[in-house]
Chain A
Amino acid sequence: MKRRMRIGIAVVCAVPILSPLLFLSGNDYLIQAVTRIFIYGILVLSVEMCWGQTGIFTFGQAAFFGFGGYFAGYMAKNENITDLGVLLLIALVAGVIAGTLIALFLFSGKRVGELYVALVTLAISYVCEKLANSWTFVGSGNGIPGIPFPTIFGKEISSSIALFFIAFGLFAVSMIICILIIDSQLGLAINAVRDDEERAEFFGYNRSLIQIIIFIFSAVLASIAGALFSLSEGFISPSSLGLTLSTSTVLWVVLGGKGTFYGPMIALAILESVDVEMQKALPSLWRILVGLMLLLTMIFLPKGLMSLGEKSRNKREQKKTT
């Protein structure tokens, strides 16, 4: 088994072992915070797969996240469909459809530049937020509050611990699937497309098809994450579609290290946990600090936090050989 998979399994085992510590505190607010981290973790995975592994600079992933969230939330609240399996399936299908449409638009035919993709996905996220804000059908500025708890086989899942494990479970499954993809022949292909589109084409890879498949896959991941979000938080609003979340996701990936697979998730975990405390203490200053962190990372550590270890290791290697 390759190392990436080994680490993945380790994480999947560690969390259930460590989580009783969390549950003992009886603090629902904090349990919810960690649940949220797992949900965002799926979103981060989607960007890491799309951008870090395949080189598609998707700057508007929140659009799919919010899309899934709104779909699930609307169905649960207004159409009384609360079965978890059904709702996730709906989110999956929604993700496939939206992802396919946009992927076909972007990747079939002539190559477009990475930055065009970034701008288009950014614009899509922007437009979706504006639409959701003004469309009364989906609650306009209010979003959809009061989304009921999901049910499994008719039984309502309302405890925060149960929701925690559902979120974690889906996160674990998504992570394992991603690892399997990356460690496979397909993984080699997508990395090839990332590293040099033109050369990959010369080698006979169907660049267009690969990009479309991965884009749809990450759209589905994001959409499912969004559905989970709206069901566990009980609430979805236009900000879950818009630039703020889109750019936070990119931020997590950049800070953690694009392409390192685990880096973005670590960055997410650390930033979100600190955020929980900072919201109480210095809300406005904290946001400025995050911006500064991103800036400093771009200048001094462009490969993200994971490269911190690399640099010191390289120095040590150099010392050894001289």
Chain B
Amino acid sequence: MSPSVIRGIFDVFSLTSILVLLVLGMAIIVGMMKVFNMCQGEFVLLGAGTAYLSYQYFGSVLLGILLAPVVVGFFGLVLERTVIHRFYANPQGALLATFAIGLVIRETVQTRMAAQSSLVPAPISSSVNIGGAVLPIWRIVIMIVTLVLALTIALVLLKTSVGLKIRATLDNPELVASSGISTKWMYAWTYALGAALAGFAGAMIVPLQTLYPNLGYENLIPMFIAVMIGGLGQFAGPIAGAALIAIPGGVLSQFINPVSSQILVLCFAIVFMRFRPMGIFQRGR
């Protein structure tokens, strides 16, 4: 295999793992909690910002990556308790309110940033040579971490009692409440988990790009579509959806320009969803 083919295949997997990592948090908040969280992108942004600040003040990006889920998760917790919980019965309101939150965060970051794009170096910036193709190690790290993280969360949700409580709360809150579990806090912590995952993704990914205010916002629509293709209501769906969007997109980008390929994939996704909405969007649910 020629080096450019190896690199090509590697790029497809790398792009897929990045989208999956970004979508993990959304899988929980939009997929399982069914909250149309338009500020999910800003959680990613905040995580990336944490990595950057940690690099600036403590000299360590790795520390930032570890701090990001904590910081953003806490932020998500506060947000849920103050704003989000008011809109569980009002998806339209949730969409607009979270959009407003995202706008405020984005504009605030924009104002606070001195330069409009800042660089955050990867903890491991070297590359490895495989068959003549030069592959950045950090991208390999992301692939491994994403895989492990996705599997871990799936296992926790399916096999542990915590996971059972979460799924039960989201499926049938009245029953869960009557068995003594505080649904209020279950919701809060689940939302915080979704935020934390997004923050972690942001911190992991920012070394590959730069930190700029629209970092999350630009990925929002593809992320939403990935989640909706996969189907709301369970964790695995959005992951599959992300793969379904990223792989064809990545492959197409090898041959036609990336913007066109993304647009094509999105169009196909929209049409696909129209004919197989999997009963997600009917009113009264």
Contacts and interface: CB of A to CB of B under 8 A. Distances in A.
Given A123-B266, A134-B259, A284-B107, A294 B96 contact: yes
A114 B92 contact: yes
A202 B174 CA distance: 32
B282 A111 contact: yes
B281 A131 contact: no
A215 to B, nearest CB: 15
Interface stretch (B98-106, B148-156, B247-255): B98-106
Nearest to B106: A291
Interface string A250-292: 1000100000000000000000000000000000110110111
B37 to A, nearest CB: 12
A127 B257 CA distance: 15
B266 A127 contact: yes
For chain A, what secondary structure do more than half of its interface residues adopt (helix, strand, loop), or is it mixed?
helix
B145 interface: no
A106 B271 CA distance: 10
A115 B104 CA distance: 23
A113 interface: yes
A254 B97 CA distance: 11
A127 to B, nearest CB: 5
B93 interface: yes
A263 B86 CA distance: 24
Interface residues of B, number: 40
B283 interface: yes
Interface stretch (A23-31, A183-191, A295-303): A295-303
A298 B274 CA distance: 29
For chain B, what secondary structure do more than half of its interface residues adopt (helix, strand, loop), or is it mixed?
helix
A299 B97 contact: yes
A122 interface: yes
Given A284-B111, A295-B104, A254 B96 contact: yes
Contacts of A111: 282-283
B83 A116 contact: no
A115 B36 contact: yes
B104 A291 contact: yes
Given A292-B104, A294-B100, A295-B97, A105 B274 contact: yes
Interface string A36-66: 0000000000000000000001000000000
B221 A291 contact: no
29 contacts: A105-B271, A111-B283, A112-B274, A112-B277, A113-B281, A113-B282, A113-B283, A114-B281, A115-B95, A115-B281, A116-B228, A116-B274, A116-B281, A119-B225, A119-B228, A123-B270, A126-B221, A127-B263, A130-B262, A134-B257, A197-B283, A247-B99, A254-B96, A287-B107, A288-B108, A294-B97, A294-B100, A295-B101, A302-B90
Interface of B: 36, 83, 86-87, 90-93, 95-97, 99-101, 103-104, 107-108, 110-111, 221, 224-225, 228, 257, 259-260, 262-263, 266-267, 270-271, 273-274, 277, 280-283
